[in-house]
Amino acid sequence: MAQAVRGLFAGASANGFSMELLEALLVTLLGAVLIRLLAGVISRTLLRGLRDQSRVSIRKTITYVGIALLLVIALDQAGVELTALLGAAGVIGIAVGIASQASLSNIISGLFLVSEKAFEVGDVIRVGDRTGVVHSIDPLSIKLLTFDNLMIRIPNQQLIETELVNVTKFPVRRLDIDLTVPMSVPAQQLIDLLRSCATSVEFVLDEPEPLTLLQEIREGNLVIRFGVWFEKQNYLKARNAIFVEVQRRFREEGIRFGEPIIRIAETGSPEAASASRVVRTDG
Amino acid sequence: MKGVWGPVELSVGETTHRQIRRLRLWIRREAERWLYASDLVDGAGVETVVSRARKASELPWQSILGVGRTEVRLEPALPDKPVLLKAQKPVQVLPDGVLSLVVAVPVWARLEAGVTIFEAESEPMLRTWFGDAQAGESAYAMEIEDWMVGSTPGKGAAHVHVPLKIRNESQSLLSFQRLLVRVVHLSIYGEDSILFTNDVSVTFRSVTQYSQISFSNKSSLDGGGGRLLQEPREKVSDNLIRRSFLFFRGLTE
């Protein structure tokens, strides 16, 4: 390519130094365009079958390596002595390396993250108290797009060290709801009612079967865990619909949600101690 | 089928109303556009009804523009996902035995004008998940009372009848309670108010060998006048070939 560019200016009579600079500039510009085109074509053809994340990573690698080579060619074209430059680059590299330990750590962490395949672009992940869709996976960080439309940059090293939950890794999920009902409600009636609620909601899956688990007796009430399965893309619809259905069916059946019951025993006299007052609170 | 499926012929300002089991569908033609609306009525047991009614202003109409000379058609369709048949009790097939049954799958209605405009199920089926929670597949669940019930198709345009054959070519007893039918690979044919598909057969050889699933080009329910109404949603592909050779438990567990 350098030869071709040189050919274009073969007849030019400008001063040699300016000409070399101009050639180097053209080589850089044309080379950058070619690298972008090449990376794009490879991404769309050879890498078509790969996951988005792998495709983007390989595309970026091709681009970065290409640009590095291009810079070397352009500098050579401009008449810069590369041997001396490479010697200087070694010294500078050590200095830069020491100064950019955090960046290097992030790059290495990024490689581990990619190889672990814990998540990919488009997954919904939870890191600490932040949840969002993975927008991009870059050498130094990942970009998370939250559901209230904020872009959060999380350094790769932090991701390696933090507990990360991939919410959409698997195609189906379970939503657990803990319901508190008075002890007077027969447990079997409650189980049947909740199973019937699950059947009524369109987005709730028939299988895996809904979970109904009598958890505990808390503050004089029965706590039951109701878990329904749904496909991950139906999360919002299923969540809203199941709450609406449970509320509707409880109202229809005349079942109230439990209120905490606190018994206060008045001490002092045996009569008073044996009698206790029941106080209901709204919790 | 006549009067339910096929071209929707309306003059400007006219509305037609069709009901297929629980699905009600209104189609209206106006000067510059066509409109359609649909809803689901409560309760089961409603069979196909064809009636004409004037427009209902409260309906959730949706517009179709650019119909032009294209014909608007209402066509039967099969569900967009596999159907998991679940029986109360398992069936047992002896070595060299064949289980033949006809499954009546609730039809879907598809409104099309060169491309699909709208489609909906005439009888909502339960959504289910077939396989493990990490790598299974989405399906509709259909409970059947007995594996032999419904071995002859009934009349009516509200179901598509799928002829199934399961051959036990192993030396052991074959027992299963559920069966996944990939209806997306089936065509729909129509004849004398009956909708049916091409034959599906599954050959079981042993627990440790792949079972072969084949989708025939013909239907054993065709009395000779069967007309192709709908091509399969998913054509035969490498993916299908891969899926056609499965361990039997991959279809029943």
Residue of B nearest to A201 (CA): B126
Nearest chain A CA: its distance from B206 CA (Å): 27
Distance between CA A243 and CA A228 in Å, rounded? 11
User: Out of B126, B133, B141, whose CB is closest to A172?
Assistant: B133
| The two three-digit tokens of residue B1, written as one number | 């089928």
User: Out of A170, A202, A207, whose CB is closest to B128?
Assistant: A207
The β-bridge relationship of strands A124-127 and A130-137 is: antiparallel
Tell me, what's the pLDDT at A229? 95
Contact A206 B128 (CB under 8 A): yes
% chain A with pLDDT above 90:
31
- Smallest CA-to-CA distance from B142 within B89, B68, B82 is with B82
Longest distance between any two alpha carbons in chain B, whole Å: 67
Per-residue pLDDT, averaged over B155-168, amounts to: 84
In chain B, what residues touch A208 (CB-CB under 8 Å)?
A: 129, 133
In chain B, what residues touch A172 (CB-CB under 8 Å)?
A: 129, 133, 136
Tell me, what's the pLDDT at B242? 46
Interface mutation target, options B123, B129, B132, chain A, most CBs of A under 10 Å: B129
Distance between CA A169 and CA A112 in Å, rounded? 18
Question: How do residues B28-61 score in pLDDT, each as one tens digit?
Answer: 888 888 889 988 887 654 445 544 444 567 788 8
Predicted TM-score (pTM) of this structure? 0.71
In chain B, what residues touch A170 (CB-CB under 8 Å)?
A: 133-135
Edge to edge, the sheet with strand A151-155 lists A151-155, A141-146, A130-137, A124-127, A164-166
Q: Is A248's pLDDT higher than 90?
A: yes
Q: What is the ipTM of this complex?
A: 0.72
Q: Is A201's pLDDT higher than 70?
A: yes
| The two three-digit tokens of residue B30, written as one number | 């106006």
Chain centroid to Cα B13, Å, comes to 33
Question: How do residues B75-119 score in pLDDT, each as one tens digit?
Answer: 999 999 999 988 888 888 899 999 888 888 999 999 998 889 999
Q: What mean pLDDT is reported for chain A?
A: 83
Contacts of residue B221, Cβ cutoff 8 Å, sequence gap at least 6: B102, B153, B161, B163, B189, B194, B196
Residue of A nearest to B143 (CA): A206
Per-residue pLDDT, averaged over A178-205, amounts to: 91
- Residue A271 belongs to what H/E stretch? helix A270-274
Contact A255, A222 (CB under 8 A): no
- Smallest CA-to-CA distance from B110 within B16, B196, B5 is with B5
Mean pLDDT check: name the lowest of A85-99, A209-223, A259-273, B55-69: A259-273
Distance between CA A111 and CA A100 in Å, rounded? 17
